[in-house]
Structure formats: C-alpha cells, structure tokens
Structure 1
Amino acid sequence: MVGRIDAVLAELGETLPDAPAPAANYVPYVIVGDLVFVSGQVSKGTDGLICGKLGDDMDVAAGQAAAKVCALNLIAQVKAACGGDLDRVTRVVKLGGFVNCTPDFGDHPAVINGASDFMGAVFGDAGAHARAAVGSSSLPFGVAVEIEGIFQIS
C-alpha cells in the first residue's frame, strides 16, 4: 500500500533517493520524543554533488534546484526514521539552510525557498515551517547548499 505522502511525491514526479549515509562522525538523524532532528543534507543528487558558489558561478534558480535536492534528501532521512512511513510526519518544524556564496550575495532566502516550497508541495499545511537562511564562505565538498531539518512525527 502506497502512503499519502508517497502518492504526493509520485504526483510531483519525484523519487526519493536512499537515505544518504553520513560523511563523517555523526548520525543522519536523532529522534527525541516526537521530533526527528535530521543532520545537514548537502546538495547531492542522482548525478553527484551539486557544487557552486552563489553570486559567482551559480545563479539563484540553480541554487533553488540544489536546495530542492537537499529537501529530497531530508525527506529520505525522515522516511528512514519513520520506518518507511512518511504519513507519520505531522509537521515540518524548522529548516536551517546554508548557502555557499560570495560575500556580497544577499539572496539566501530565495535560494532556500527551493526547499521550503518543496516541503509545502509535499506536506501541504504541515509543511509550513520556521526557517533560517544563512550565507557561508564555503560548504563541505564545495556544495552549493546544505540544509538541516526538524520534523514532528506521530
């Protein structure tokens, strides 16, 4: 049986990747009570890492696409945390977004909207969340975007 959220992802034409393995000494998520804290997910899609620096060799639209890939990876981690049942997600609580950018780049919120908009498309009203969008002079492996998340589950 396909769950409601899985059906939404299919309608959007999206396939979740396998939950990415940690790249260092940390766990991909921690469950505390009814909250799942998901470690930062970098912009790594089916074709590999999405690298670039906003304000230099990457525009906002490409940054938004990279942020959406981070959102897919976040959802994959939550699915693993929920034993494969995304219908257990009751709320996207918060996203923390980091944008690899030049010092004069100031459109961090627009970049992270790529993830925020996707969370809304997938989870509906439960996808509305608190958020931070921060610029960074570098990110791991030169990726364009990294996003962490907090999700409430039943």
Structure 2
Amino acid sequence: MTISIRDQLATLGLELPAPSSPAANYISVVRTGDLLFISGQISRAPNGEIVAGTLGADISQEQGVHAARIAALNVLGQIAARTDGSLSSVRRIVKLGVFVAATSAFKDQSKIANGASDLMVAVFGEAGQHTRAAIGVSSLPAGAAVEIDAVVELEATRC
C-alpha cells in the first residue's frame, strides 16, 4: 500500500498546501534527472497569511520555528505536485537551505531551522534526514520570517 504525503501529514494533524506560483521571473521547481530543485518557499500559510517578522526583534523563537514548519509544508506541496504524491516517490530529502530573517545579534538560526528539519523526518523517516544550511538574513520577500529552498532526490524513473 502506498501512503501519500497528504495522508502522512494528516496523521500529524497537518494539511498539505497547494503549491504556490512564482512571484517573479523564475519557476518553482526544476527537475533534472532524479533531482528536484525547489525554489524558496516562504512562511505563507494556506489562508494567505504570512508569518512575518524578524527573529531577535519582533517575533519569538517559537514563532520562528512555526514559520519554518509552514515554509517546509510549502516545500512538501511543491514535491507532491511534481510527483505522484506518494512518500515512496521521494528517495531522500538531500538538502534544505533555511533563511531566517534575524537581527545581527540573533544566533539561533539552527534552532529555527529545526522546525523544517523535524517535519521532513516526521514525514519521510530516514529519507527525510538531510544536509542543511541555516542562514540569518536582514530581510525576506513579503516580510516573511523564514524562506526554505530544497534539493530532493526522487526514485529513479523507469524507461
């Protein structure tokens, strides 16, 4: 029996969002061979509300972790839309790039990024373990608190 990403998220009490459209002159996902390269996904909830702000200034670490989780859900929406939507279509989450809007004094970007990393492991198990960069930046699109891009290895295509 094949379990879908949507069903796995439902067991976690989460909903798979529809994939967002690009906001400028780029595309959301590029597939080359068995790799998906997913453009940055911001912390925009399905209702359109953005978890916005700057860590170390006007939002808490807990809100930052929540923002990372929302951005990671948006990554999952892109994966599901570009595959058959099943967990087995993903061989591995290879890398997450987690960008955190933060003051120069904020030093816990890795703790914020755990909101995304923990979700990937909860959804994909061992295949969700990945490499990662957690980077503090002065601002992100639309004032988002977190933006995440990803590289995902898919199961080999059969000819």
Query: What TM-score do you get using the length of structure 1 for normalisation?
Result: 0.95
The answer to whether the Cα contact below 8 Å between 1:93 and 1:130 also exists between their aligned partners in 2 is yes
Q: Which residue is 2:56 aligned to?
A: 55
Q: Distance in 1 between matches of 2:41 and 2:2?
A: 25
Q: Which residue is 1:111 aligned to?
A: 112
Q: Distance in 2 between matches of 1:21 and 1:153?
A: 22
Identity percentage of aligned residues: 47
The answer to whether the Cα contact below 8 Å between 1:28 and 1:39 also exists between their aligned partners in 2 is yes
The secondary structure found in structure 1 opposite 2:88 is helix
Aligned-residue offset at 1:3: 2.4
Query: What TM-score do you get using the length of structure 2 for normalisation?
Result: 0.92
Distance 1:27 1:86, change over 3 A: farther
Equivalent pairs, count: 154
The 10-residue stretch of structure 1 (42-51 or 22-31) with the greater mean CA deviation from structure 2: 42-51
Q: Which residue is 1:77 aligned to?
A: 78
The 10-residue stretch of structure 1 (143-152 or 85-94) with the greater mean CA deviation from structure 2: 85-94
The 10-residue stretch of structure 1 (42-51 or 88-97) with the greater mean CA deviation from structure 2: 42-51
Which stretches in structure 2 are left out of the alignment for 5+ residues?
none
The root-mean-square deviation of aligned C-alpha atoms, in Å, is 1.4
Q: Deviations over 1:76-99 (max 9, x none)?
A: 001111143343011000000000
Q: Which residue is 2:89 aligned to?
A: 88
Q: Distance in 2 between matches of 1:122 and 1:90?
A: 12
Q: Deviations over 1:40-77 (max 9, x none)?
A: 00000034111010001111110000000011000000
1:22 paired with 2:22, answer yes
